Amino acid sequence: MGNETSSTRIAACHVSPVFLSAKDTTLKAISLIQEAAGNKANLVVFPESYIPAFPVWSALRVPTENHAFFQRMVTESIYADGEEVDAIRAAAKQFGVLVSLGFSEKVRYSSATLFNSNVLIGADGEILVHHRKLMPTFYEKLTWAPGDGHGLQVAETKFGKVGVLICGENTNPLALYTMTAQGEQIHISTWPAVWPTRLPHGDTRSTHVVESSKIDAQPRRLTIAPGVDYDNVGANRTRAAAHCFEAKCFGVLCAGVLGEDAIASIALSLALSSAVSSSSSSEQEVVRSSVAQGLERLPRGATMFLDTTGTLLPGFTLNPKTSEKVQVDFLQKEEGILYADVDLEDCVEGKQYHDIAGGYQRLDVFELKVDRRRRQPVIFE
């Protein structure tokens, strides 16, 4: 259907899941949808892999020590046609809003294959787009399989033409151009709460970990000099802003929050891992405390909006008692819902200068083909 209004209110939920609990996180999501709809939102957005969690542990420990976390991730990941997504669809229909939901998806043809997925749900409760992240990034490959091109679609809704790409996909110029070439007006990019590229350090100088010596099998302390942590805010905004400028669309960057339950669980698991299994309880507590402090200090992702030139579009929060607007540039460490009102007519002017999928493109020189077939492990005839 075409646009029925040029103004759309977007609600970006900057929130944590209930760590590795699909049921409780789904209930939390429904509560947030209800709250956002009550504040007249038309589009409600959740972070990457919101249900049941983002696998931060894969950045912190070797794969041979993550079996228990992976098993829990498999157990709590959800089916695209399962009861959790059905409950979110029912909420979208009940409150008449679009919902973009990031989740870890399991499939019925395998007991352990997972995808980093997103569904865009219409205000009638129907799934408009079901996307699987094309390529898991870095250590994400230890959890998720590569997706396919089936979900590289822009949904035409009465609140605008909406597209979604997940995290590192927003670095892929061909994926971004594919969305531009479908007339995208609102581009959603979803992100994790943190994305460690260094071991978290408990102080700003070094990290002390307990490890067994290969020579004498006695516990010893190693000092790991800190490197430069990944700048989630800068890196994410750079990519999203470039796309907004090129596509002349609005940007919704929705990142998660690292909850205290996640920090406690990951820190304890690290302390009890095989690297410190021969250490005393006091030494394990040093590691647990150091890792917890390090996780707290990791650079957090931010939830924000960008206008059609790629410039920061200040959002606002709403006082739950008075409904008073408080202007906010972005949300980072604390949970909340960030709102923005966008006028889709603002997508027009910039197209006069650079319509890179239209009048400013050389279709006789460049050609892009996208295979949208959903891949299956076997085809029966």
CB 33 within 8 A of CB 92: yes
How high is the pLDDT of residue 226?
54
Q: Tokens 């829990």, residue?
A: 72
Beta bridge partners of 131: 118
In whole angstroms, give the CA distance from residue 368 to residue 381: 31
Residue 259 carries which side chain, given as an amino acid letter?
Answer: G
The b-or-e profile of 1-10 (16+ CB within 10 A means b, else e) is: eebeeeebbb
| CB distance 88 to 99 below 8 Å | yes
In this predicted structure, which of 102-111, 141-150, 245-254, 321-330 has the lowest mean pLDDT? 321-330
> What is the distance in angstroms between the CA of the first residue and the CA of the last residue of the chain?
35
> Which residue is catalytic, options 28, 48, 184, 249?
48
Residue 321: what pLDDT? 83
Q: What are phi and psi for residue 7, nearest 5 degrees?
A: -105, 130
Instruction: Give dist(CA 102, CA 198) in Å, integer.
Output: 25
- Round to whole Å and give the CA distance between 286 and 272: 11
Respond yes or no: is residue 296 known to be catalytic.
Answer: no
Count CB neighbours of 352 within 10 A. 10
Torsion sign (Cα): 102, 328, 301, 253: positive
- 265 vs 12, 173, 235, CA distance in Å? 26, 37, 28
**Short-list 319, 343, 267, 253, CA closest to 298:** 267
- Considering only CA atoms, which of 134, 190, 185, 133 is closest in space to residue 163? 185
pLDDT tens per residue across span 12-54: 999 999 999 999 999 999 999 999 999 999 999 999 999 999 9
User: Average pLDDT of 75-96?
Assistant: 98
Domains of the chain listed by start with CATH number: 7-193+231-258+304-352 (3.60.110.10)
Q: Which of 28, 106, 133, 161 does the annotation list as catalytic?
A: 133
Burial label for 327, CB within 10 Å (0-12, 13-18, 19+), is: exposed
167 in catalytic set: yes
Phi, psi of 129, deg, nearest 5 = -140, 130
Helices 281-297 and 260-271, interaxial angle, to 10°? 140
| pLDDT tens per residue across span 267-295 | 998 888 755 555 678 888 888 888 899 89
pLDDT in the model for residue 229: 81
Q: Is 133 a catalytic residue?
A: yes
Supply the pLDDT for residue 286: 84
Return d(Cα 40, Cα 328) in angstroms, integer.
18
Query: How is residue 125 written in tokens?
Result: 């409760």
- Residue 271 is predicted with a pLDDT of 81
The upper half-sphere exposure of residue 13, i.e. CA atoms within 13 Å in the direction of its Cβ, equals: 28
Mean pLDDT along residues 155-161: 98
Q: Flag whether pLDDT at 4 surpasses 70.
A: no
pLDDT at 208: 40
**Residue of 76, 106, 161, 167 marked catalytic:** 167
Computed from CA positions of residues 173, 174, 176, 180, in that sequence, does the dihedral angle turn out positive or negative?
positive
Residue 159 CA to residue 7 CA, distance in Å, equals 7
Please report which confidence band the pLDDT of residue 185 belongs to, taking 50, 70 and 90 as the band edges: very high
Q: What rounded mean pLDDT belongs to the chain? A: 91
Q: What is the pLDDT of residues 232-241, one digit of tens each?
A: 999 999 999 9
